[in-house]
Amino acid sequence: MSEKKNISGDYHHQHDHAHSHLPSDPELRVKALETLLLNKGLIDSETLDELIDTYENRIGPKNGTKVVAKAWVDLEYKKRLLIDATSAIRELSYQGRQGENMVVVENTPETHNVIVCTLCSCYPWPVLGIPPTWYKSDEYRSRTVREPRKVLLEFGLPLDPKVQIKVWDSTAEIRYLVLPMRPKGTENMNESELAELVTRNSMIGTGLPKEIK
Amino acid sequence: MSRLHDMGGRFGDGLIPLPRDAENEVTNFEPTFKYKWHAKAWAITLAAGALGEWNLDISRHYRECLPPKDYINFSYYEKWLAALTNLLIDKELISLNELKEYVFAAEKGTLRKFSDKDVKLDQRTWLAKDVQKTLGWGGPSIRDTNVSPVFDIGNKVITQNYNPNKDISGGHTRLPKYAMGRVGVIHSYNNNHVFPDKNAHGLGENPLPLYTVEFKSSELWGELAESQNDSILLDLWEPYLKLFPN
């Protein structure tokens, strides 16, 4: 025990919390920090623009819909996806930050999968982009592991009591993607038409793909 | 013993804040960043992280170490900003005086951005031309080591109780409170990964076997479990686990 007392998990050994000096308006906080870092040459404004543009316009759930649609039409691809998702997803050129170790979990008539991160907001960026606000909310993080059925009902997804729910809490650097079941009556649709049916929530497990009317 | 970020299973949280369309149906669409400052806070954090002065586990731990009253009151990106500020000061990338000076100017409306020619870029600064390349690499946490996993798939294990971080009291850990002292089954072994409990404190990467462990819902929640069939799966490092005698 004595050794432990000398090292604390808290980091503010040298000073009070620096963040308490920030302005109360968060917009001003960002402006102050951004300007300071820019003037010190520690960040570059073009880099910030490139990052924001990438995740606002290029990397998002559209990527994931293509992975799912391909798995629906190509059994061999689906096999590869379930065995080594990182490589199979890289075949479609989606890879990298927050998707370095991907695992795809398959929904079946017997099992429904749901993804959460109770400790922070881990989420598979290359295939789904930046997480939506609800995914990062205290409500979703706290409740999904204890009462997934109530949570799914709020999403408009009542589950048969006979279906087993598996909740995957992303506590390490593995990032999960749900492979939803292909909707009925879509036998004649091609891959790109199928991709249009896949919703973001269906790839987190909090929704289903769109039905065809 | 835990911190506020470790909220899995707690009581008191209300309805999930879901975006809804005109017919009040849950919609899948919401902007990537709700406000411009959210985007900026996020991007500044990534860009500052690329300076290489801290790792992912350290930045997570800084967010978790915000005083409880701040953690509760801050919105998501406010937590990011506060943790980033503390990191920048602790790693001496900025000084407290500089921070105060810029905060003062921001509040007076006299912030001034230097012209490009007056800024000397740091050697470590992440440049726009490298953004796609760096994002594509990511930051894999898998390490090739000769450490062999102790547990086999199907083994029954019990998780550590009380203080999973054996080096640091109140230290960073990825074993949530709700799964401490509980019995589960090894579902899979996922190679060896950097161990956050050490890496978050600058004690080295110390890569160790990472398992996915399956817990019955009733094991975690007792009679409150919604269904006897349901299960919860967590990714847990070997030191969090002990073989559970059959």
pLDDT tens-place string over residues B201-242: 999 999 999 999 999 999 999 999 999 999 999 999 999 999
Instruction: Retrieve residue A201's tokens.
Output: 């929530």
Of B106, B165, B237, the CB nearest to A28: B106
Higher pLDDT, B146 or B196: B196
Task: Output the pLDDT for position A19.
Answer: 87
Note the CATH number of domain A60-204. 3.90.330.10
Of A39, A54, A164, the CB nearest to B113: A39
In-domain check, residue B118: yes
Distance from CA of A187 to the nearest CA of B (A): 25
Measured in degrees and rounded to the nearest 5, phi and psi for residue B115 equal: -75, 155
Task: Output the pLDDT for position A17.
Answer: 81
Give all strands of the β-sheet with B241-243 in edge-to-edge order: A111-116, A164-169, B231-237, B208-216, B183-193, B156-159, B241-243
A142: closest chain B residue by CA: B8
Q: Are B32 and A129 in contact (CB under 8 A)?
A: yes
Q: Do B6 and A118 touch (CB under 8 A)?
A: yes
- Total domains in chain B come to 2
Task: Output the pLDDT for position B1.
Answer: 67
Q: Do B32 and A14 touch (CB under 8 A)?
A: no
Distance from CA of A185 to the nearest CA of B (A): 23
d(CA A2, CA A5) in angstroms, rounded, equals 5
Measured in degrees and rounded to the nearest 5, phi and psi for residue B207 equal: -60, 135
State the pLDDT confidence band at B246, using cuts at 50, 70 and 90. confident
Find, among B72, B178, B227, the residue nearest to A142 by Cα.
Answer: B178
Measured in degrees and rounded to the nearest 5, phi and psi for residue A175 equal: -115, 135
With residue B233 as reference, give the H or E element that holds it: strand B231-237
- Tell whether B179 and B124 lie within a shared domain: no
Higher pLDDT, A88 or A25: A88
Please count the other Cβ atoms lying within 10 Å of the Cβ belonging to residue A80. 17
State the pLDDT confidence band at A23, using cuts at 50, 70 and 90. confident
Task: Output the pLDDT for position A22.
Answer: 83
d(CA A137, CA A139) in angstroms, rounded, equals 5
State the pLDDT confidence band at B137, using cuts at 50, 70 and 90. very high
A190 CB near a chain B CB, below 8 Å?
A: no
In-domain check, residue B83: yes
pLDDT digits (tens, 9 = 90+) for A134-184: 999 999 999 999 999 999 999 999 999 999 999 999 999 999 999 999 999
- Tell whether B105 and B164 lie within a shared domain: no
In-domain check, residue B11: no
- Tell whether B177 and B126 lie within a shared domain: no
CATH number of B175's domain: 2.30.30.50
In-domain check, residue B197: yes
pLDDT digits (tens, 9 = 90+) for A169-182: 999 999 999 999 99
Of B26, B60, B65, the CB nearest to A120: B60
What is the residue-averaged pLDDT of chain B? 96
- Tell whether B173 and B94 lie within a shared domain: no
Domain spans, chain A: 25-58, 60-204
pTM to 2 decimal places: 0.95
Q: Do B172 and A46 touch (CB under 8 A)?
A: no
**B134-150 mean pLDDT:** 95
- Tell whether B75 and B104 lie within a shared domain: yes
Distance from CA of B133 to the nearest CA of A (A): 9
State the pLDDT confidence band at A3, using cuts at 50, 70 and 90. very low
Please count the other Cβ atoms lying within 10 Å of the Cβ belonging to residue A27. 15
In-domain check, residue B207: yes
- Tell whether B48 and B96 lie within a shared domain: yes
Percent of residues, chain A, with pLDDT higher than 90: 87
A196 CB near a chain B CB, below 8 Å?
A: no
Q: Do A47 and B128 touch (CB under 8 A)?
A: yes
* CB contacts < 8 A (A, B): 350
Helix, strand, coil abundance in chain B, percent, nearest 5: 35, 15, 50
Which residues of A form the catalytic set? 117, 120-122
List, in sequence order, every residue forming a beta bridge with B26; answer none if it has no partner: B20
- Tell whether B62 and B101 lie within a shared domain: yes
User: Has residue A11 got a pLDDT over 70?
Assistant: no
Q: Do A199 and B28 touch (CB under 8 A)?
A: yes
Of A18, A98, A164, the CB nearest to B230: A164
Q: Around A174, how many Cα atoms within 13 Å sit in the side-chain half-sphere?
A: 30
- Tell whether B119 and B165 lie within a shared domain: no
Distance from CA of A106 to the nearest CA of B (A): 14
State the pLDDT confidence band at A9, using cuts at 50, 70 and 90. low
Distance from CA of B187 to the nearest CA of A (A): 12
Task: Output the pLDDT for position A94.
Answer: 97
Torsional sign, CA B32, B37, B43, B46: negative
Please count the other Cβ atoms lying within 10 Å of the Cβ belonging to residue B243. 13
d(CA B244, CA B246) in angstroms, rounded, equals 6
Q: Does the complex come out with an ipTM higher than 0.90?
A: yes
- Tell whether B42 and B128 lie within a shared domain: yes
- Tell whether B97 and B177 lie within a shared domain: no
pLDDT digits (tens, 9 = 90+) for B43-92: 999 999 999 999 999 999 999 999 999 999 999 999 999 999 999 999 99
In-domain check, residue B192: yes
Q: Are B159 and B165 in contact (CB under 8 A)?
A: no
Q: Do A101 and B140 touch (CB under 8 A)?
A: yes
User: Has residue A13 got a pLDDT over 80?
Assistant: no
In-domain check, residue B31: no
Task: Output the pLDDT for position A8.
Answer: 55
Q: Are B59 and A120 in contact (CB under 8 A)?
A: no
In-domain check, residue B27: no
pLDDT digits (tens, 9 = 90+) for B2-19: 899 999 999 999 999 999
Query: Which residue in A116, A163, A171 has the most chain B C-beta atoms within 10 A of its own C-beta, making it the best mutation to test that interface?
Result: A171
Indicate the residue among B103, B137, B171 that finishes a domain: B137
CATH number of B53's domain: 1.10.472.20
d(CA B214, CA A97) in angstroms, rounded, equals 26
3-state secondary structure of B110: coil
The domain in which residue B116 lies consists of: 36-137
Length of chain A: 213
**B139-167 mean pLDDT:** 94
- Tell whether B43 and B133 lie within a shared domain: yes
